Structure 1
């Protein structure tokens, strides 16, 4: 049973946020697969518990704010990994503001985005942390830099004000093609309104029985909300793909991949998500396709480069 100190309960919150949908899916679907990650599968209950733990950890790590003040910013400079998913949802559940960051940014680009957003927490790749270390003196607001999201067991820290509706949820930075990247302010209700609008399309674009390939970068608006957000909104199954190279059915780490090609799919480097594996990874056939009927019915995929954030 999750603690109600840090977690924002959708039944009590008149302005729910997207993280509430994770709780709803955990209650409604329980052991249904929420995420496939290479040779692992997390149920919605697993994901909900992981989001709870990260929400408590982020709430403890972020600096306190005055009542009614601007909530701390949590920057996430990761590829499409489990840690990205739980950090983003954990930030929303904790009432903080998520700042997805292109992990391919240069040091000047990172310095600008982190300084402009006022991020106090950064969860990032080894490369990004190395670049940020060189400019740390220019980022006085940054108090925690880590390769994995912090976690904490219940009971968590004192509650932060409930956030949802028109409250700021995410700062998404533009690519900076016509100047320095600018932070687009997206509210909780803006994220949810996107899904409510798409729900009106017939036949449905995504449904609860679908598996969605999350190949677009999650630091990008489309990958973040139209991809991962749609999975959460519908209680579907997500399939994060972490690399920018073509995908491979034959890689032993990526036997779940839904199309042929080549890729390197690294093993998770974090122990943040520790839920049990639900089912075994399907074994590819000689032709490369997996010998399983659990193939995606919807895909979110495209070619992209790490040089653009939006």
Structure 2
């Protein structure tokens, strides 16, 4: 019996170790795919606005508001207003409703799994962590030198030789891609290939590269937390839904966190790219991007624990119970509501 029990316990870490790695591989694949879409969408006229032509492109077709006929006197004001309503406001409202509907249920899923800016945030964070032991210049202290699985993490200042070039390269890529959303991509890329961009193109690319380089180096996750309107609206509608998906913490087993890493350090705190404490209440997780790195880190650090990790995604009644655990006085009321 003892031999069978020992064998069963040995199987658990193997099973748990694969799940977090698979989750992050899937997320990386989604991020990479969306970044490619972000770059290629203007090239194939999937979505862009052509300043030269004065109209947008959507899924390879011209997207006009129908105001040319009004300006030419061929239609009246009522028909022109109807065109704007049907071709601009209704599509925008429908897209916003779908986007916010996803956010209401799953939170900032777009940020953590698709956003091309957030993929840059995580990449530069990783490089800075390897160079200095801190994922951001504004981190107060060097993070504990441990991987979530307990292996030591080493730093090497030579990684700084990649941090700045990577930030500038990403910024240049973004500047060029953003310009292709406004001008014909063939013209932009053709001029760059010939090293002969127009004056305005060179000014846009140069200025955008400088601004984005500074943002990527000094204010990456700060922009995501405090300045991104897309993230803000997702967070606002998510925080108002008590049934929304949230990172749940098994507080009854909180003592296991003491053995998470040496010196009672928490792996989940160290891996969060937004520098949040994943075991905190929901309103303190306002900018959580649902990237799941804290869950993966917890699963790795608790791989030898037969009870499994302490962090899980929860929703609906489980999400309400998770929040009730932070409010002892209201716990019974929350349980009755469930």
Q: Structure 2-normalised TM-score?
A: 0.23
Structure index of larger Rg: 2
Tell me which protein shows more helix as a share of its residues. 2
Tell me which protein shows more strand as a share of its residues. 1
